[in-house]
Amino acid sequence: MNDVDGHDDRFQHAVYAAESDALPDGGRRFRRFADVERFVDAAMTELWWEEQFPDAPVSAQIHRRSRGATFSAAYVTDDGWDAVIWIRDGSWDAVTVVHELAHVASGSWREPQRWASEPGHGPRFVAALCELWRRHLGVHAYGALRLALVERGVIFAHQDPVPGSSR
C-alpha cells in the first residue's frame, strides 16, 4: 500500500494491528473533544516533547472529523513548523490520539521535503510511536506494543544489525 506521497507504506496495516492487539480497548477515552485538545496541547508543550522530538512542532491545530469519516490523520508542513491533526468522531481514545501525535513527532524537519523520503508508518514513525506509548499509555502498554510490532516484522528506526548478519 502506498501512502499519500506515493511511498510503499508496507507496515501501515501491521502497525494498526499491533496497536489493536497491544491495547484492544483503545486505552483512555476522552469524553469531550475539548479533552482531546487539552491532551494534545499538554503533550506537545511539555519539556519531554521538546527533548524527544526537537524538530517537531510544539503545537497543532486539532479538528474534528465526522463519524462518517474513515480515518483520523495528521499533517506537518514541509518546513516543519505547523501541524494539523484531524480526529474522527468516535475515535476519541488515547491510542488514536497518540498515533496521530507520532505522525507529528516523526514527520517534521526544518528542511523542506527531507522527511518525505520515508513512508508514513516507517521506522521514524514507529520509534516515535513507541516513545509516545511509553510516556502516555504506560510501560506495560509500551511493552505489549513493542512485542506486537516485532511479531509483525515492523522495522524500528534504531534497530542495529543482528550480530553475525550481513547487514
pLDDT in tens, 1-30: 444 444 578 899 999 999 999 999 989 999
Over residues 101-126, mean pLDDT: 75
Give the rounded distance of the alpha carbon of 130 from its chain centre: 8
Residue 158 lies in a domain: no
Domain range for 18: 12-151
| Structural domains in the chain (count) | 1
Question: pLDDT at residue 164 above 70?
Answer: no
Cell numbers that stand for 74 in this block = 495528521
The whole-angstrom separation of Cα 135 and Cα 133 is 5
pTM value is 0.85
Residue 6 lies in a domain: no
Q: Write the pLDDT tens digit of every residue in 43-95.
A: 999 999 999 999 899 999 999 999 899 999 999 987 788 899 999 999 999 99
Residue 99 lies in a domain: yes
Return the closest-CA partner of residue 21 out of 109, 146, 148: 148
At residue 80, the pLDDT reads 81
Residue 3 lies in a domain: no
Residue 167 lies in a domain: no
At residue 2, the pLDDT reads 42
* Residue located via cell numbers 517537531: 56
Residue 58 lies in a domain: yes
| Ordered alpha helix ranges (H), the chain | 12-22, 33-45, 47-52, 94-106, 123-136, 139-151
pLDDT > 70 in the chain, percent: 83
Task: Give the count of beta carbons closer than 10 Å to the beta carbon of residue 6.
Answer: 9
Residue 157 lies in a domain: no
- 96, 72 contact by CB (below 8 A): yes
Residue 131 lies in a domain: yes
